[in-house]
Structure 1
Amino acid sequence: MAIITLTTDFGEKDYFAGAVKGAIYNELSDVRIVDISHSVSPFHISEASYIIKNAYRSFPKGSIHIIGIDSELTPENKHLAVKLDDHYFICANNGILSLLASEIRPEKIVEINIHDKIQTNFPVLDVFVKVACHISRGGTLEVIGKNIEQIKHLKQFEPIINSEQNQILGHVIYIDNYGNVITNISRKLFESTGKGRPFKISARRHNFDAIYETYSHAINFEVEKENRKEEDGKKLAVFNSAGYIELAIYKSNPNTVGGAASLFGLEYLDTVTINFE
């Protein structure tokens, strides 16, 4: 049974996500549709890129992933079908696959060219669904598009290392549901650049000189709970499950006391710097 996933900024109020699912079922009765997220911030390319990068690998090879973010067809925003890591991705060529393609070279990229056969002002519903169903039936990418060599990359996904190799300049690329701040600095880059040297992470007025493996590693459970000076509300840096450096506050609630983003005063694309001694 084919698996088609949906990642969009449609939200839950409108009919868009339901209409897309109905159109898929209208073409394929024997298919499984999985919602990855419909709560991506509107037109937020980096959010969608981060979410799909860390979700797709949990699905079986051959899964088809429709990404409906900033998908209106324009001369600067063409539509793509990409085979990468034995998965298929259907999206706009707006940099949304930057995180994936920076680590894994796509096996095939085609620029979708079936638009003259489809009247649409809702490309996810009409164009992306047609392409996904074509692939699920075993159709090749060449039938629905022309081969191209490169996809658009976003500069904000690439940290900068200075010439002295003692500083990484990164940025905030995602803020999660808990208000935790995810940077574009990967564990691999941190370790290859730092080479075990002492360091300081700086984000606005907040500094960190340790990175924990998990959130709970920041807490000394050998001290009785009532005697711990810091637990809930402790600020920390952690290597998150996606392999990026994340700035967080232990068990903080962004709806009450606030999360790391609000309490640290950090927003999307704000600078995070690591200095090595």
Structure 2
Amino acid sequence: MSFAPTKPSIITLTTDFGTSDSYVAQMKGVILSINANVRIVDISHDVRPQQVLQATYLTQTAWPYFPPGAVHLAVVDPGVGSDRLPIVLHTKQGVYVGPDNGVLSAALPDEARPATCSTILLPVGVRAFAITDRRFMRERVSVTFHGRDIFAPAAAHLSLGVNVGELGEAIDGLVAMPSVRAERVADGSMQAQVIHIDRFGNVITSIRWEDLAAGQFSLQIGGQSVPGPFETYAQLQGLGALAGSSGYLEIAVPNGSAVEALGVEIGARVRLEPERSFS
């Protein structure tokens, strides 16, 4: 089955390269030298270095808003130069290019993702290929910068309509990250973690709003107790928990930074405790 790109074609970029160096510009230069008409959209280049889980959250909250057929390139690649495969995934929503380390997990349905980071068989409706055909790479491939020399040219060729199967051999599995979700405990509490901190200092947790039971609760995090739920930022008098626009429970503080108030980082543990009535 051939892949028909959108018109004009779109490539999204998600990396941990930052913008103080020229790495992102190098990737864009390679892409534009192959397809000068492609539209490049930056999702984020501020993923914390090697934080595949954070990249998964960002792509999971951004990719669904793009038209079907877009090419999504994600490079958070602590294993660059190792034997991990460069891969491309094809689904009905689009094409996804990156290392086989779980960074493309947001392209998979929740129910297909494992409990821990591990290799899984491809779910129904997903095809995957190792990128091995040198025609779709730069002539010289650096062992330290596959983003520029393998992933960027592959994405550019795909945006021109190259069939995903031309890039290399089909594979029947890939490394997948667990679904970004909290764990419910028998006593009714939930164990979660901080998965992202946005530029406003809001602390986003792995607790999905849809998984919450009705009623008040408190979040235990950073040695503090944070009340919730609130409906809007305007209701907050201090630290408080509310549903963010991406469907995850976040902690905010009015006219301030929740992360500074809590002193936590990505990966910090969070415990949700429901309010109990004793009538």
In 2, the alpha carbon distance for the partners of 1:82 and 1:166 equals 38
Question: Could you list the per-position Cα deviations for residues 160-185 of structure 1 after superposition, in whole angstroms to 9, with x for gaps in the alignment?
Answer: 222x2612100111111111111111
Pair 1:128 & 2:146 matched: no
> Is the Cα–Cα contact under 8 Å of residues 34 and 157 in structure 2 kept in the other structure?
no
Q: Which residue of 2 aligns with 1:11?
A: 18
Q: Which amino acid aligns with 2:253?
A: I
Structure 2 vs 1, CA of residues 248 and 198 (structure 1 numbering), >3 Å: closer, same or farther? closer
> Is the Cα–Cα contact under 8 Å of residues 217 and 229 in structure 2 kept in the other structure?
no
> Is the Cα–Cα contact under 8 Å of residues 114 and 145 in structure 1 kept in the other structure?
yes
In 1, the alpha carbon distance for the partners of 2:9 and 2:179 equals 34
> Is the Cα–Cα contact under 8 Å of residues 156 and 171 in structure 1 kept in the other structure?
no
Return 4-13 or 98-107, whichever deviates more: 98-107
What percent identity do the matched residue pairs reach? Answer: 27
In 2, the alpha carbon distance for the partners of 1:80 and 1:242 equals 27
Q: Which amino acid aligns with 2:217?
A: F
Per the normalisation by structure 1, the TM-score is 0.81
Q: Which residue of 1 aligns with 2:130?
A: 111
Look up the SS of the partner of 2:57 in the other structure: helix
Match of 2:194 among 160, 172, 176: 172
Shift of 1:247: 0.9
In 2, the alpha carbon distance for the partners of 1:15 and 1:51 equals 22
Pair 1:38 & 2:57 matched: no
Q: Which residue of 1 aligns with 2:162?
A: 139
Gap regions ≥5 residues in structure 2:
1-7, 112-122
Pair 1:208 & 2:208 matched: no
Per the normalisation by structure 2, the TM-score is 0.80
> Is the Cα–Cα contact under 8 Å of residues 45 and 96 in structure 1 kept in the other structure?
yes
> Is the Cα–Cα contact under 8 Å of residues 73 and 79 in structure 1 kept in the other structure?
no
Please give the root-mean-square deviation of Cα atoms over the aligned residues, in Å. Answer: 2.4
Gap regions ≥5 residues in structure 1:
220-229, 253-258
> Is the Cα–Cα contact under 8 Å of residues 89 and 127 in structure 2 kept in the other structure?
yes
Shift of 1:102: 4.7
